[in-house]
Amino acid sequence: MSDTSSTGPLAGQVALVTGSSRGIGAATAKALAAKGAHVVITGRRVKDLEGVEDAIHEAGGTATIAPMDLTDGESVGRLAQAIAERWEKLDLLVICAAQLPVLTPVTQIEPKSFNEALTLNVLATQALIAGFDPLLKRSEAGKIIGLTSSVGAEPRPFWGAYGATKAAFENLLLSHGKEVERISEIRIAIIDPGATRTAMRARAYPGEDPQTVKPPEAVADRIAELAEDGFANLHRERVETSS
């Protein structure tokens, strides 16, 4: 099953979800597919992607896996070309993929870890925007939804490296939104998922009981609602749904 013949409010639409092998990305891919979108799921873990794809198909949805490393700039271009050849457009780009560098004082930030986070969280975001802009403009109402963190706007001790990447991430998305709002139907939204039960949060808060924070599905359902209902350009919100 690899076409856009599903039924539902998003039937006929093509969505690309980065970081969709697990966590919020995987849940978002499933939620969008449940609404009828054909979802292209990307990530580095092939087995995990296959598991997400199988779950989508078993639920009656359609999906295509595209294993890739977003830190390889050329891989983004290749994926954009493949989607252009197969579907000729992209209706929704959801940027979930992100890397959390080591939590440490700014004076002790590890260059290698910081550089990897900058590459995935910032440089790959610019590559995605550039690579998929032509396809999003071919959609009747192209949308980009980027997942951020509160530390991007509200600095926190020891979170400087990650916060800096998310501040840059937000700036790129909002700048792009302002650049295209008068010349296309593309709309940009930035979503702060808040405390969510993910592997990244478990690394950041190793002593936390994961059952005390909401599941990824709560965030995914809100993203799917936005995809269906639409939103004003430069929309921002925090998902506060409890578990």
Annotated catalytic residues are: 162
End-to-end CA distance of the chain: 33
Location of structure tokens 């010349």: 183
Which of 123, 232, 125 minimizes the C-alpha distance to 185?
Answer: 232
CA pair distance 232, 236, nearest whole angstrom? 9
Which of 31, 83, 77, 92 minimizes the C-alpha distance to 56?
Answer: 31
Nearby residues of 226 by Cβ (< 8 Å), 6 or more positions away? 143, 145, 189, 191, 235
Return the structure tokens found at 156. Answer: 């926190």
Which of 14, 10, 146, 30 minimizes the C-alpha distance to 86?
Answer: 14
Which of 133, 190, 144, 189 minimizes the C-alpha distance to 167?
Answer: 190
Listing from the earlier edge strand, what are the strands of the sheet with 235-238?
62-67, 38-43, 14-18, 92-95, 143-147, 187-192, 235-238
